[in-house]
Amino acid sequence: MPTYRAPLTDYTFLIDRFLETHRYRHLPGYAELDSDTRTAILTEAAAFCEDVLLPLNQSGDLEGCRLENGQVRTPRGFPNAYSRFVRGGWPALPFDTADGGHGLPHLMSVPISEMMVSANMSFSGYVDITQAAATTIHAHGSDWQKRVFLPPLVSGRWGGTMNLTEAHAGTDLGLMRTRAEPASDGTYRVTGAKIFITGVDHDLTENIVNLVLARLPGGPPGTKGISLFIVPKFLPAEDGSLGQRNAITVIGVEHKMGVRASATCAVNYENAVGYLVGNPHDGLRAMFTMMNDTRLGVGIQGLGMSEVASQNARAYAAERLQGRAPAGPAALDLPADPIVYHPDVRRMLSVIEAFNQSARALALWTGLQFDIAHHEADAEARQAADDLLALLTPAIKAHFTDCSFENVNLALQCFGGHGYIREWGMEQFVRDCRITQIYEGTNGVQAMDLVGRKLTIAGGRLPARFFALVEQDLTVANDTAAISTLANNLRIALGMLRQLTACVQGLGQSERERIAAGSSDYLRLFGMVALGWTWLKLANIAANEPHDNAFLKQKLALAHFYLTRLVPEARMLAERAVLGDYLPGVTDFLKPTDAVQI
């Protein structure tokens, strides 16, 4: 059975030294988050993940969810684990105290989410989607909706879902047919068939708050005519207790490749009572709050899967004996060397680890940006953080999940044929991880969002802010001889990204086809520069450490690996992004100039 130990030392290092959170004590929750409090929270969360969630991961996958007499049942052990989770107060951690939360910074959700995914991705899905539903109602709900639905969602007593997808309407929500009719009492009657809805029914919570997109009569066609409704499984009575069962029928639990303990269902709404959230026909804007929240969450899912796969592959590589190291026998007392002595095995493990450690740093950094964007007093600082979050959301969702799927496959590869056999658990990681590239907007759609929208809105302000940050750290790195080669490699990749960005920004609406053709390569290049930037910052900390520190030495070594061995791929990606449509003249930017030497 796979094992897992939460990377607590890394979290502490990243929060203290990489983010320097002591500089943000003016933000809500940060002053209370001293090192002891933080360590206590993370250690307890780690224990819950390692001792309660991990043991249910394989059994949950084998058993799956089932529909019994109209009610979805989760695998054995899930309801009990979920009530322990709620009793421990975990769902409420990041929410405002006014809504029944504990008021912890959003930053703290990042490591907790990662740990939960590593231990049990199916279980974490119920929690993530519930928290995203609460965030959406907090942002767009009426006072009544907030009073009735927020406290039980925040505490985790009720679950939440997002209902967008229909059989004929996946990426293109403009094709959606589910409709809502106004009723005389001010509520609505929602009718339609949704598919692939995570957690629309289960036995973990006493009620489920479905956020459903539907069309009101007389609305414009396409995405402009979509409204958002709360359609709960049980209608809330006046006193907040559970009232009448709503007209929602689960048609079936989807038979899936992975995350089999997560209840993904086809569901019918048949004149179900719904409450309009926000303004008519403005539902997609409200739903974007939920989608952006979950997109960052899916990126962290990728990281969590890559981390657990890495830990198991490293343990296996240290024990599995096959052949002798090319440089000569390494373990003379053994009949063969552990496979970790083979450079190609080390290559695979290093690729995974070079992603995990920088992706974790970047994910935590976005957690900090989230808190700044919501709570910083200075409006310009809030705007800057918001811009960076908007820019990085598609990149984190898609690049993290693309890399993590490659990584779980590499980790399986380290096991040879044993990786392909169920009992080792590696094939489950591959199956579970695969969905992260698909849901919450496929990675191709994320690439279009980044290249087709985020690069050009507000006159290109978003990428300009990001590039300025990277430039700033490149300048700092100039003062440290030990990392100047690393900085140079990143400078070259950044130069290509900047020129490619300018090229995209110069293309007009009539050239959207060309922009789309190179978008996935652009996104990968962008993700690579973003991770390279975090490696440069980490290397800078490590290189300036006055004491002998094995943990930091390893960071410096991995920074070298990433920036010298992996980042050269940037040139290929830049060429591909351009050649995506064979634009005459555009390849000019690849020609060496004084500023950029390729």
CB of 444 to ligand FAD, least distance (A): 4
440 is catalytic: yes
**Residue 251, φ and ψ in degrees, nearest 5:** -85, -35
CB of 404 to ligand FAD, least distance (A): 16
DSSP 387: H
* 149/261 Cα distance (integer angstroms): 26
Q: Nearer Cβ to ligand FAD, position 125 or 338?
A: 125
Residues 6+ away with beta carbon under 8 Å from 282: 227, 228
CB 306 within 8 A of CB 356: yes
CB of 40 to ligand FAD, least distance (A): 33
Which residues of the chain form contacts with ligand FAD (CB under 6 A)? 162-165, 170-171, 196-198, 256, 264, 435, 438-439, 441-442, 444-445, 448
* 479/469 Cα distance (integer angstroms): 17
CB of 67 to ligand FAD, least distance (A): 16
Tokens linked to 273: 């009572």
CB of 156 to ligand FAD, least distance (A): 18
User: Please, which residues bridge with residue 274 across strands?
Assistant: 188
CB of 297 to ligand FAD, least distance (A): 12
What string of DSSP letters covers 538-577? Answer: HHHHHHT--S--HHHHHHHHHHHIIIIIITTHHHHHHHHH
**Residue 182, φ and ψ in degrees, nearest 5:** -65, 140
Q: Nearer Cβ to ligand FAD, position 213 or 216?
A: 213
CB 151 within 8 A of CB 100: yes
Alpha-helix residue ranges (DSSP H) falling in 88-242: 109-119, 121-140, 143-155
The closest of 554, 408, 422 to 13, measured between CA atoms, is: 554
Q: Nearer Cβ to ligand FAD, position 53 or 523?
A: 523
The closest of 95, 104, 97 to 28, measured between CA atoms, is: 104
Q: Nearer Cβ to ligand FAD, position 90 or 439?
A: 439
Tokens linked to 513: 């086809």
Tokens linked to 161: 């879902």
The closest of 525, 520, 474, 460 to 497, measured between CA atoms, is: 525
CB 396 within 8 A of CB 449: no
CA dist 36 to 12, 41, 43, 503, Å?
Answer: 11, 9, 10, 49
* 510/451 Cα distance (integer angstroms): 15
Q: Report, in angstroms and rounded to the nearest whole number, the Rg of the chain calculated over CA atoms.
A: 24
Q: Nearer Cβ to ligand FAD, position 416 or 452?
A: 452
Q: Which single residue brings its beta carbon nearest to ligand FAD?
A: 170
CB of 430 to ligand FAD, least distance (A): 15
Q: Nearer Cβ to ligand FAD, position 81 or 290?
A: 290
* 555/552 Cα distance (integer angstroms): 5
* 523/482 Cα distance (integer angstroms): 30
* 137/286 Cα distance (integer angstroms): 9
> Which residue, chain included where needed, has tokens 């100047």?
484
Identified catalytic residue from 440, 471, 511, 513: 440
Q: Nearer Cβ to ligand FAD, position 120 or 264?
A: 264
Tokens linked to 217: 């009569």
CB of 465 to ligand FAD, least distance (A): 26
> How far is CA 388 from its chain centroid?
16
CB of 172 to ligand FAD, least distance (A): 6
Q: Nearer Cβ to ligand FAD, position 167 or 468?
A: 167
Tokens linked to 171: 């990426």
Q: Nearer Cβ to ligand FAD, position 100 or 444?
A: 444
Q: Across the chain, how many H-helices and E-strands are there?
A: 18, 11
The closest of 111, 104, 92 to 12, measured between CA atoms, is: 111
Q: Nearer Cβ to ligand FAD, position 46 or 197?
A: 197
CB of 73 to ligand FAD, least distance (A): 18
Tokens linked to 480: 């440290």
Tokens linked to 17: 């030294």
Q: Nearer Cβ to ligand FAD, position 169 or 242?
A: 169
Hey, CA dihedral for 529, 531, 532, 534, is it positive or negative?
positive
Q: List active site positions.
A: 440
